[in-house]
Structure 1
């Protein structure tokens, strides 16, 4: 029975990869995508060439950086709770040249939309597309970033729903990895809007061996990066800081 399940899920993954690469996913502006964005307005970023609408999230991809530009979700309590009940499943297609470029690069394949946010197998598998990835340091990806992803899921459970937009930020001279010169971001960020509170905020994490994460207002983040994760939000909400959870640092004994 398990072998049959694995084969079925593998077929779903291959079909998803084909749809993503051929651009058969829904285009932005159609009703299937609008619910991922506040007021139906997609984020504003500097690099965005491909735009895909998948079952559980929407994404933009840059041909220049060879990585994700942003990933947008409308995360609800029911989806998160379903995700906790199903077995985590997903794998990268090792035949894909972009995926192979991450090997022995010193960087993890950092999901912008995490598979743990998804409430069904098909949506989980769709998070393993190369268009959803950027290079992240191992310390960030498995540490503070993983903690932030878990906090966002808890926020969705607590308040019923949350809009989430995640992406990379590039600054100055950019390091690259692999034969396709995938850009390594200076930082990765995760913007959050809680409709029930009408409040928003941004986690901004420096992508270094010893990562540091900050909590910012949307206005400060946009002023610094020229990225607007929520163009549909009122300016007053963007100006007000949301008291997002902060990771407690363990003290050395």
Structure 2
């Protein structure tokens, strides 16, 4: 297996999948304000029942993980919401709209790979790297126009759907010298909910700040400009690559990628190209590489057929 995948299969983690729906970080504040301190189980059940089914999966993890509630209390209370499935399993089948022809890439199996669905993107997350393997988005003229009117929230949060042992925390980035680099950019988000969700650390990698604000930002802007001109949907895959000596940040040892890639695929024309950039301050804009070259370097065949 290529070096790109070696780290992904190097550690085993908790084997269950987690919920496919997430919320804006404002829910964290609401829940904490209501339930800090000692609370009774009936009060929790009543509060959870008032939340929408969309919130259910993440609410259980927020209450259990952040407030230290017994799993039986959080689980039974959340299960009382009418019409809410009891399973917390997440699959890309719940958000196929983010993938060309509704078909996610086939990747090598590993115990700590988890599929996460969000409103505006999907993440295949690696628990060993505590970062995405890739993030998938669908852009078009309408979504780009809608995104232009939204204000950044800049409220980063650790995604409580991921087990603590597999996720990055805010403390990992503090004082690290690296920025929290969006893989699905906040500037692509076409709704307030999607904007809030884009600040999940599951959508981040440790990125050199100069690179993030310079050539990488230009690539993101150019991709939006192309999607606004395109006749139909444009699919984008973004992710990190790890090669050379292992570098980590924070007490959680979040791995720092050596390179980043962004694949752009125009479903109307079949045209595709990929950007491949070193995660370094010295990186400059460079010519795109072909899709087949990206497949060779990454070991992932992103597009169906």
Query: What interval of TM-score do these two structures reach, taking the shorter chain for normalisation?
Result: 0.7 to 0.9
> Greater Rg, structure 1 or structure 2?
2
Q: Which residue of 2 is the match for residue 249 of structure 1?
A: none
> Where does 1:1-253 land on structure 2 (aligned, <5 Å)?
10-12=25-27, 19=58, 22=61, 24=88, 26-30=90-94, 33-45=95-107, 49-93=113-157, 98-159=169-230, 160-212=232-284, 213-230=286-303, 232-233=304-305
CA offset at residue 168 of structure 1? 0.4
CA offset at residue 10 of structure 1? 4.9
Contact (CA 8 Å) 1:168, 1:189: kept in 2 or not? yes
Please give the secondary structure, in 1, of the residue aligned with 2:147. helix
Contact (CA 8 Å) 2:173, 2:206: kept in 1 or not? yes
Taking only aligned residues, the RMSD between alpha carbons, in angstroms, comes to 2.8
The one-character-per-residue Cα deviations of 1:99-124 (angstroms, maximum 9, x if unpaired) are 21111111110000011101111100
**TM-score, length-normalised on structure 1?**
0.79
- Considering fraction of residues, name the structure with more strand: 1
| Distance in 1 between residues matched to 2:59 and 2:246, nearest whole Å | 27
Mark the runs of 5 or more structure 1 residues left unpaired by the alignment.
1-7, 234-253
**TM-score, length-normalised on structure 2?**
0.66
The one-character-per-residue Cα deviations of 1:138-175 (angstroms, maximum 9, x if unpaired) are 11111111111111111111004210010001113221
Q: Which residue of 2 is the match for residue 250 of structure 1?
A: none
CA offset at residue 41 of structure 1? 2.0
Mark the runs of 5 or more structure 2 residues left unpaired by the alignment.
1-22, 32-54, 62-86, 161-167
